[in-house]
Chain A
Amino acid sequence: MRTWYSTDQEAIDSAFGAFFGAESPIETVRAAEPTGFDPELWASLAAMGGAGMALPEPRGGGADLTDLAVVARQLGRHLAPVPLIEHSVACRLLAAAAAGSARVRQGEAAPVTESRTGPDLAESVSAAESGPGPDLAESVSAAESASGPDLEALLAELAAGDRIATLTLRPVTSGQARLTPAGAVAGAVAGFDGADLVLDLSEPPGSAVPNTADLPLADRDLTGATAVASGPAAARLWAAARAEWQALMAAACAGLAARSLEIGVAYVMERRQFGVPVGSFQAVQHGLAEAAVRAEGGRLLAHRAAWALGAGRPDGNRLAAMALVFCAEAARFAADRALQYHGGYGYSAEYDVQLYYRRAAGWPLQMGEPAALVAELADRDLGPRGEPAAGTEADRGERAAG
């Protein structure tokens, strides 16, 4: 058991820390508002291999999910205005879909033509809980492998960072993907319409919907999208991608929380009131300490979730959802405490803590309402609503004794 970074991960951590520190200072973050995207930063990131690192090694990548969580945490610390988490998860998703298609083409697996209506969403998602399985190729639609988008060429573009990929996170209804994460800049949008995993390669709008967190959100029309996988395989791929995004976003939120606290601590040590540093007051210290405990607990859970997903553990999806719920709250609490202890200056646009406060709320909300995530966890751990009672009054005594 190693609950801390490996030597390689320490190198990744310091490399990305240094990179974002140099290339994404807070002035860059501010300048990137309101699109929430800095093309130069993205180009620099691509030049150092960051765009393709999530892809499998033969495709120019090789970073696993625990490595990506290390990077996501640094991205969170620096509020880096690049959609690296969405791009990385979409890369993994499309590479898995491409691997399935290739196996169909090479005749290693029998193509299974499935209707676009498919099984209903709930069923598909519950079938998908176990992550992409060995039968993936069987279920990837033969039609897509013949006439669909050229995934091989696309993956090469994504690896080089010449095109940005994303995923809608929330299901697509009637071909519309409202507030698609990175939708303002992504030239490859993957979505799930309840039956198929679809891919849209149209030009991004380049401008974002004005939003709280200055994220590159855009409403995207996916009516022209084509299916790249369908049926149970599509649902499985989609569920895995959602869970990966949750774990990585949790790590980013943990990084955001930790950096908010550093900013808060620096300020309360510098700011003097009543003749002493504000940070010498216990009320202030305890608020920051409580936030630090939650940030650290969230960090550990996020890394554990990324590890569990990568290792194919049965509780991977559960831990990922839990990590996001917890880290989102931890980030918001940390940014709130840091802002509060700035006093009035925390509310002013000039001070950086407000940048953290807004993103702490906006980043995780891209997934949708937290209550929906909690409800999914409830279905998983408590069973769906309306299931027959597990026991009766008669066996109460027996159960109590056992």
Chain B
Amino acid sequence: MDFSLPPEAEDFRRQVRDFLAANLTEEMIEATRDGTIHSPSLHRAMADRGWLSGAVPAELGGGGLDPVELCVLIEELQLHRAPIDALGVAIVTVSMVLEHGGDHLREAVVPRLLSGEALACFGYSEPESGSDVAAARTRAVRDGDEWVIDGSKMWTTMAHVADYVVLLTRTDPDVGKHEGLTFFVVPLDLPGIEIRPVATMGTERSNATFYDGVRLGDEWRLGDVGGGWRVMKTALKYERGIAGGQFPSPPVVEAAVDWARRTSDGAGRRLIDRDDVRDRLVRAMIDVEVARSFAYHTAALASDGVMFGVEGSMTKLFASEAYKKHCSWFLDLMGAEGLRTAADPGAHMGGRIEENFRHAPVTAIYGGTSEINRNIVAESHLGLPRAR
């Protein structure tokens, strides 16, 4: 066994750090307080470096970044708190189009996404279907050479700045729920589309999107008619590859250590000298190393050509649940002072712990809830039957 990152990946880490030192500013991070966790200039700068196309699997025509390097990229971006909501969506969308899309999508959409000129968002969930994503009811009906789409989608985060939505629709309501699904890549400027903001407990703005008689040509179809579930499965596969959720805790731990060093308790003792505080800080650091072991393991498997499955679920489940726990611990650590938000100039480190505390719950929900991931572990890893 050898857990050392290859020299190329260590070189790449230095490149990413240099890139972030030159391109990521505190202003960019602060700008995300408007709810859009995306920086156009940072996104384009990463595209210019070839990191978006590099992250697309080589067998689909992308490549240049080994999965271990991609893991390092995500790790560094998260350690530096870079706003990257658009990054994973772009990479997954391009991968889906290259695997399942026709000539039009490959020519019209792929270059624009890879250059960073255009953005995409996912339209899977609906008001009535979240984890049960195959229950989608948004209808697409053929009308001559065109399709007409009616329905609504939830959690289309980034839709208000994106150019395309990757839309899961029902084209045949009379067959089994997994059989009647079809994907489209829908330009968001088409008539009949309405985007309404959904405010969240975290800083993030999400959206609900509504489709009322939206007409588009068959060239925007992604994959076969009725083949939507197969496309969905590849989307989940690519999403796991660039989950981007492996390293959420370190900035929070850093802020907690800083607070504990600077702050004394009522008895005049520095918090960092107290056993209970040291215990939690160390346990959070242990969780970070476990999450890192998981992340490197999945990346190494992918690099070796093994398409991991349950390992991705374990990584995401562990990292997000640990992150949530850490945010809760360290909010407590700060006591009443932890309640100050970023809007207060006296908030410690820009209210970082407070903000992460409000953000953390969604990480155990989106991209596969912890419960769905436990189902996957129970079935694929432990061999237990499908539960209800």
A343 lies within 8 A of chain B by Cβ: no
Q: A265 and B377 in contact (CB under 8 A), knowing A296-B314, A308-B3, A322-B289?
A: no
B350 touches which of A297, A386, A393, A400 (Cβ 8 Å): A400
| Alpha-carbon distance between A396 and B303 when the two chains are bound, in angstroms | 42
- In the complex the two chains form, is B378's CB within 8 Å of A289's CB? yes
Report which of B4, B26, B290, B374 forms a contact with A289, defined as CB distance below 8 A: B374
Q: Are B314 and A261 in contact (CB under 8 A)?
A: no
A352-387 interface code vs B (CB 8 A; 1 in, 0 out): 000000000000000000010011011001100110
CA distance A280 to B386 in the complex (A): 7
Q: A164 within 8 Å of B by Cβ?
A: no
Size of interface on B: residues with Cβ below 8 Å to A: 54
The residue from B2, B294, B375 contacting A307, defined by CB atoms under 8 A apart: B2
| Distance between B342 CB and nearest chain A CB, rounded to angstroms | 11
Question: Given A1-B6, A280-B387, A285-B374, A301 and B282 touching (CB < 8 A)?
Answer: no
B142 within 8 A of A: no
Identify which of A289, A300, A326, A390 contacts B294 (C-beta below 8 A).
A300
Contact mask for chain B residues 208-221; partner A; CB cutoff 8 A; 1 contact, 0 none: 00000000000000
Contacts of A391 in B (CB 8 A): 258, 261-262
**Is B275 close to A, CB under 8 A?**
yes
A383 to B314, CA, bound (A): 32
Query: Chain B, 369-385, contact with A by CB distance < 8 Å: what is the 0/1 string?
Result: 00100110110011111
For A269, the closest partner residue in chain B by CB is B384
Q: What's the nearest-Cβ distance from chain A to residue B150, in Å?
A: 35
A286 to B388, CA, bound (A): 12
> Which of B1, B258, B289, B384 has most A Cβ within 10 Å?
B1
Choice from A1, A279, A303 contacting B303 with Cβ under 8 Å: A1
B385 near A279 with CB under 8 A, answer yes
Interface string of B300-318 (1 = CB under 8 A from A): 1101100000000010011
Does B378 contact A286, Cβ atoms closer than 8 Å?
yes
Alpha-carbon gap, A154 to B339, bound state (A):
63
List residues of B (280-308) whose CB comes within 8 Å of A's CBs. 281-283, 285-286, 289-291, 293-294, 296-297, 299-301, 303-304
Q: Are A286 and B371 in contact (CB under 8 A)?
A: yes
Q: Does B257 contact A (CB under 8 A)?
A: yes
Q: Does A113 contact B (CB under 8 A)?
A: no
Q: Which residues of B contact A259 (CB under 8 A)?
A: none
Shortest beta-carbon distance, A196 to chain B, in Å? Answer: 30
B385 and A280 within 8 A (CB): yes
A10–B5 CA distance with the chains assembled, in angstroms: 22
- Cβ of A169 < 8 Å from any Cβ of B? no
Interface membership of A389, Cβ < 8 A: yes
Q: Given contacts A3-B300, A303-B3, is CB(A277)–CB(B273) below 8 Å?
A: no
Instruction: Check: B278 CB closer than 8 A to any chain A CB.
Output: yes
Q: Is B68 an interface residue (CB 8 A)?
A: yes
CB closest chain-A residue, reference B66: A1
Verify if A9 is at the interface (C-beta below 8 Å from B).
Answer: yes
Most buried by B among A1, A261, A269, A296: A1
Instruction: For the complex, give the distance between the alpha carbons of A103 and B226 in Å.
Output: 75
Q: Min CB distance, B286 to chain A, in Å?
A: 5
A322 to B290 Cα, complex, angstroms: 9
Say whether A399 contacts B258, CB under 8 Å.
Answer: yes
B-chain residues with CB within 8 Å of residue A300 when the two chains form the complex? 290, 293-294, 297
Report if B279 contacts A (CB, 8 A): yes
Q: B188 at the A/B interface (Cβ < 8 Å)?
A: no
Q: Taking the complex as formed, is B31 at the interface, i.e. its CB lies under 8 A from any CB of chain A?
A: no
A349 at the B interface (CB under 8 A): no
A240 on interface, CB distance cutoff 8 Å: no
**Residue in contact with B68 in the complex, picked from A1, A292, A301, A382, CB distance below 8 Å:** A1
Tell me if A390 and B261 are in contact (CB < 8 A): yes
Give B175-200 interface residues, CB cut-off 8 Å to A: none
B1–A4 CB distance below 8 A:
yes
Q: Does chain A have a CB within 8 A of B201?
A: no
Residues of B within 8 A of A325 (CB): 283, 286
* Chain A residues within 8 Å of B317, by CB: 293
Asked whether A1 lies within 8 Å of B4 as measured between CB atoms, the reply is: yes
Chosen A-B contacts, 14 in total, with CB atoms closer than 8 Å, are: A1-B6, A4-B301, A285-B374, A285-B382, A285-B384, A292-B381, A293-B377, A296-B314, A301-B289, A325-B286, A374-B283, A382-B278, A389-B261, A396-B348
- Given contacts A290-B374, A307-B2, 17 further A-B pairs with CB under 8 A are A1-B5, A5-B1, A277-B385, A285-B374, A288-B382, A289-B381, A292-B382, A297-B290, A300-B294, A301-B290, A301-B293, A303-B3, A306-B1, A375-B278, A381-B281, A385-B272, A390-B261
* Residue positions of A touching B, CB distance < 8 A: 1-6, 9, 66, 261, 265, 268-269, 277, 279-282, 285-286, 288-290, 292-294, 296-298, 300-301, 303-304, 306-308, 311, 319, 322, 325-326, 371, 374-375, 377-378, 381-382, 385-386, 389-393, 396, 399-402
